[in-house]
Amino acid sequence: MVDRAQLRQHTVEVLKVLAVAACYYATARLGLLQQLVRGQVTPLWPPTGIAVAALLVFGVRIWPGIALGALAANIILGPSLLPVLVIAAGNTVAPICSYLLLRRAGFRNELDRLRDALALVFLGALAGMLISATVGTGALVVSGALPSEEFWPTWSVWWTGDAMGVMVVTPFLLVVRNARLPYAINPARWAEAAALGVCTVAVTVVATETGASLLFLVSPFLIWAAFRFERAGAACCALGVSTLAILAAGRMTGPFAHHGLLTNMITLQGFIGTTALVSLLLAAVVTERNRTYREIKRLCAQLSDKVTRQDL
């Protein structure tokens, strides 16, 4: 019986590793559709978000899945085996370092505190992804696949792309994992959620298809999502808006038309970074405020009940 239980547990662990590897590889292939530099450096790298989320949910023992996915994603790109192994190692170590930094900071997967949002942005995304960008770009330069003068432009795109993946994808996955279908929600609430989704998509499409710089029009809908639907609304809207902006940049339409690679890169990543940061931080503040309000309301009710009993 013990052997069967252990075998079942090991089988589940192996399946988790393979599932993480498959998700990493699949999202890597999607991310490479919008490459900017040498066919493998993109403005948003979703696998880093999946890797950090997997580590936060399953623990550090899931790292082989990240390593397998990174190796599979990079081995078909070249330039040769040794640089590929180095890049895959950097793509594995960076999320692990982000995970360790987040756990050291007391990060909670619920993302219901402002400190959790700040930790995810500055420790999980910006700090941890320095490793993958430095190791990956360095490997390309040393192998001769990238000219040395292209190191810093490539490094900046690599770093911000990995960081955007953590800022946009990781919160979405954590929110989806903890989501429960709210059966008792008022139909008006469902209607508001549907209206928010439709309006956000419509405004984003208009902003990314119009020649004028209208990306700022998305901000009110991100605020709406954070205030009314907290983490779930903010994470979903940020992911949708970022995806539509990336597609527009790939087609070079709207604010991304008639500009060079560097200008489009700065515009796109600045927009994605601002979208993710504002949504995440505002949702965390609203969630923390609402939780405090509910706690105060509960304590007031308890106090009122005690006073009533004493009067009787």
Q: What is the pLDDT of residues 217-257, one digit of tens each?
A: 999 999 999 999 988 899 999 999 998 988 888 788 888 88
Q: How far apart are CA 49 and CA 280, in angstroms?
A: 14
In this predicted structure, the answer to whether residue 179 has a pLDDT above a threshold of 80 is no
- What is 1-178's CATH number, 2.60.40, 3.40.50, 1.10.1760, 3.30.40? 1.10.1760
- Domain locations in the chain as residue ranges: 1-178, 182-312
Chain center to CA of 22:
18
Confidence band, pLDDT 50/70/90 cuts, at residue 1: very low
For residue 224, give the nearest of 259, 187, 199 by alpha carbon.
Answer: 199
Q: How far apart are CA 150 and CA 164, in angstroms?
A: 21
Confidence band, pLDDT 50/70/90 cuts, at residue 187: confident
Q: Check: CB of residue 161 under 8 Å from CB of residue 43.
A: yes
Confidence band, pLDDT 50/70/90 cuts, at residue 311: low
